[in-house]
Amino acid sequence: MDNRSTIHKKTAFDKLQFGIGDLARMTGVSTRQLRYWEKQGYVKALDRNDDQESRLYGFRAFLKVSIIKQHIDDGDTLRTAVIHANEHIDSAMITKHIMKQAFQGLEDFQGTVAVNMGYFDDDETQLLYVFLEDGKAKYRVVDSKK
């Protein structure tokens, strides 16, 4: 008997878009600072395919602005914060790529919410699940039961 049921499938973070006001509210960075950072090339608005002139930012810009803000709040200069943010973004993009490939959704697995990380083996006979137990990540490999 299969004890799995899908709760949530993949989220398309690449499709998230935020106006400059939204980005300012979410990160605590003023719209004036965002425009300055964009002018300096620290962050980039999305290219628009319509006649609108308002700035839109994607998830990558949200991450970068959040990281820059955190480093500035911790006492770094803007220049140093941008360097750190670029390093973090590179690591985050690698992690994102791996997660995008592996993440198959959230599932109810034996009464607990688990992350389905996809097939564990090349023959696609086993699935890897990750779930929390007492606040710690636990892993379980189970038969895929195609």
Domain residue limits at 19:
13-101
Residue 51 maps to which CATH number?
Answer: 1.10.1660.10
pLDDT at 43: 96
Do 62 and 26 share a structural domain? yes
- Alpha-carbon distance of 126 to 146, in angstroms, equals 10
CA distances from 78 to 34, 68, 93 (A): 12, 7, 22
Do 134 and 80 share a structural domain? no
Q: Encode pLDDT of 28-48 as tens digits.
A: 999 999 999 999 999 999 987
Q: Note whether residue 62 is domain-resident.
A: yes
Sign of the CA dihedral 97, 23, 64, 131?
A: negative
Say what the pTM is. Answer: 0.65
Which long-range contacts does 67-73 make (Cβ < 8 Å, 24+ apart)?
68/29, 68/37, 68/42, 68/43, 69/27, 69/28, 69/29
Q: Note whether residue 6 is domain-resident.
A: no
Say how many domains are in the chain.
2
pLDDT-derived band of residue 4, with 50, 70 and 90 as boundaries?
low
Q: Note whether residue 7 is domain-resident.
A: no
Average pLDDT for residues 136-146, to the nearest whole number?
88
Q: Note whether residue 117 is domain-resident.
A: yes
Q: Note whether residue 57 is domain-resident.
A: yes
- Alpha-carbon distance of 63 to 69, in angstroms, equals 10
